[in-house]
Structure 1
Amino acid sequence: MNALSLTLAAAQSASVAGDLAANLRTHLAFVAAAAAAGADLLLFPELSLTGYEPALATGLALEPDDTQLLPLREACSKAGLTAVVGAPVQGAAGLQIGALILGADGSCRVHTKQYLHPGEAPPFVPGNGGELLAVQGLQAALAICADSNHPAHADAARARGADLYLASAVIGPTGYSSDSALLAGHARRLGMPVLMANHGAPTGGYACVGRSAFWQADGQCLIAAPGDGACLVLVRRVADDWQGEVCALPA
């Protein structure tokens, strides 16, 4: 990696089931906090804008040009950061689990989940991923939850030139140990740091445990949220040194 400085943030947010307006307010608060911390990129959990609610997803699909997203897009542009937020999207093959990439330049593009968990189809169909995301001269690959359970996904990202692996997740107490071990393994095997954002409260029947985290390229966990609840996990890279901290959101 050749960037001298970079600040990444994982938003450990809580989503209200199906309530886009409430969740947008939460996202705006996280953008403001990340901007104050100097973040270049802010990663949210899977389906963060709607909650992980497959039964409601058909009526909650968003398009990149949806006017409801404008305040959030404008906030990202004003702050000069890129945010990756989660929502259902309507693809050519059907409803997909998406990540909307809200660029610091005001743009919005879609990344879709390639590997579905059992029980997600229907209503969802597999997506086809998306392009790498440029951040401060580096290339980041996105993974949406089960994508990261497949080593082939991380391997393909690295082969395409990814320097970072960004995982938006829904992880409960029974899955955290194995899922975090997989993410650490990707980092160690591929020499590619990994940032993971998990929900900080229950969603879709999952008692999400939070513990959003960052693994360095040797697979060692640099920083992790101590548990659930809303917070920002921040990691800063200056030259070859990573530093991390967990920050509570301003009241």
Structure 2
Amino acid sequence: MRIGIVQTSAKKGAISLNIKNHLNLIKSALPSKPDLIVFPELSIIGYEPELAKKLACTIDDERFNSFQAIANTNKLTIGIGMPTQSKEGIKISMLLFPPHKARLIYSKQLLHDDELPYFVSSNNQVFLTIKEKKIAFGICYEALQWEHFIKAVENKVIIYIASVAKPERGNKKAYVHLPSIAKEFKIPILMSNCVG
């Protein structure tokens, strides 16, 4: 299986521009024939909690149809970061576009304290199976929480992907925590971070 982990910079709140940049990055990866491409946390608006309520979307938002089309044509699953609307409130989510299947949403389950004024947590874990390999996702803060990773292990995942928006200080923690649990459980952990 080939997995593309994208590290990109988002223009604050500029959904159309960020979608265009995402699509260009995906197209540049297509010659490598990836099975999965994952972007950082909230990659479509940038990590901008104060804009999340205004910019949040639903899974069927037509602005993302191009992602589904590329997924279908290239037998590729794409994961992008976007705030989503729910009856409980706004969630930090990864929109997943599997080829020729319904779109999926994985929403962050464990929120950092400074996210609580803007977002609500989710309670369902979404797993992907690609080429008979089960994959779990963690979004930023929760990827550093032991219980989140253990839940993935209990569900027999063999790859864990962290989609994050971490500054240098957060990276230092991730660079200690993620390799240690990857080694202990013999599960590869990949991290997609924003840049800039």
Q: Provide TM-score, normalisation by structure 1.
A: 0.76
Q: 2:21 aligns with which of 22, 26, 29?
A: 26
In the alignment, what sits opposite 2:189?
Answer: 194
Q: State the shift of 1:94 in Å.
A: 1.0
Deviation digits for residues 8-37 of structure 1 (CA, Å, limit 9, x no counterpart): 110111101111100100110121122221
Q: Is the 8 A contact 1:12 1:200 kept in 2?
A: yes
- Go from structure 1 to structure 2 and tell me whether the alpha carbon gap of 1:195 and 1:78 turns closer, same or farther (over 3 Å shift): same
**Which one-letter code corresponds to 2:138 in the other structure?**
A
Q: Is the 8 A contact 1:143 1:166 kept in 2?
A: yes
Q: Is the 8 A contact 2:128 2:136 kept in 1?
A: yes
SS of 1:73 mapped into structure 2: helix
Q: State the shift of 1:184 in Å.
A: 0.8
1:144 aligns with 2:139: yes
**Which one-letter code corresponds to 1:169 in the other structure?**
V
Q: State the shift of 1:129 in Å.
A: 3.8
Q: State the shift of 1:131 in Å.
A: 2.2
Q: Which structure features the higher share of strand residues?
A: 1
Identity of aligned residues (%): 29
List runs of 5+ in structure 1 lacking aligned partners. Answer: 1-5, 202-251
* Cα RMSD, aligned residues only: 1.1
1:131 aligns with 2:136: no
SS of 1:52 mapped into structure 2: coil
Q: Which structure features the higher share of helix residues?
A: 2
Deviation digits for residues 86-134 of structure 1 (CA, Å, limit 9, x no counterpart): 0001123211100101112253110010111221111101112422111
Q: State the shift of 1:186 in Å.
A: 2.0
Q: 1:162 aligns with which of 141, 157, 163?
A: 157
1:71 aligns with 2:66: yes
List runs of 5+ in structure 2 lacking aligned partners. Answer: none
Equivalent runs, 1:195-234 vs 2, <5 Å = 195-201=190-196
Q: Runs of at least 4 residues of structure 1 off by over 4 A?
A: none
Distance 2:12 2:131 in 1: 34
1:13 aligns with 2:23: no
